[in-house]
Amino acid sequence: MDKELFQKFVAFTTAVHQITSDISKDIKAEALTPLQYKILEYIAVSQPVTLSEISDCMHMSMPNTSRELKKLSEKQLCDKITDPADRRKQGITLSPAGEAMMNEAFQHIAIRFTERIGDLTEEQRKEIERALDLLQEKVFY
């Protein structure tokens, strides 16, 4: 019953949400809804992905997932490749245009991130890296 630790956890996750939302606020590029952007982000880091996986991880129903993915395909931002081993499944990847868009988005985020930690020493960055590793391994796995 680590009450203090839990409170820090809550405050921390709140701060992470706040900062990432600030940092990527006006990013959601050309003609993308917030949901669509999030889906692209997910595809970008988990490529290749199946529709069911997106549906599970993002807590959305298959029909809605299918609809949004269709829109993304129509915008030429992602590709669907039917799995030859099981033709019901589709491997979804970013298209070259999708990669380009996400790279640009990540670059904007990278710039703001750099501003944020700009005045830290090399030693402090190492510390931060260790902290990130630790938390990701023990808490956010």
Per CB under 7 A, residues contacting DNA are 33-36, 50-52, 60-70, 80, 86-90
Burial of residue 94, with CB atoms counted within 10 A of its CB: 0-12 exposed, 13-18 middle, 19 or more buried: buried
Least distance between DNA and beta carbon 52 (Å):
3
Segment 41 to 80, residues that bind a second copy, using CB under 8 A: 41, 45, 57, 59
Q: How far is CA 73 from the centre of its chain?
A: 18
Cα-based distances in Å from 85 to 53, 88, 90, 94:
17, 9, 10, 21
- Residue 131's binding partner among DNA, a second copy, none (Cβ under 5 to 8 angstroms by kind) is a second copy
Per-residue tokens: 36: 């669509």
- Residue 140's binding partner among DNA, a second copy, none (Cβ under 5 to 8 angstroms by kind) is a second copy
Closest CA to 59 of 35, 83, 40: 35
By residue count, the chain amounts to: 141
Least distance between DNA and beta carbon 5 (Å):
30
Q: For the chain, where are the E strands, in sequence order?
A: 78-82, 90-94
Least distance between DNA and beta carbon 44 (Å):
17
* Interface characters, 97-126, with a second copy (x: CB under 8 A): ---------x--xx--xx-xx--x---xx-
Site residues for a second copy per CB under 8 A: 1-2, 4-6, 8-21, 25, 41, 45, 57, 59, 106, 109-110, 113-114, 116-117, 120, 124-125, 127-136, 138-141
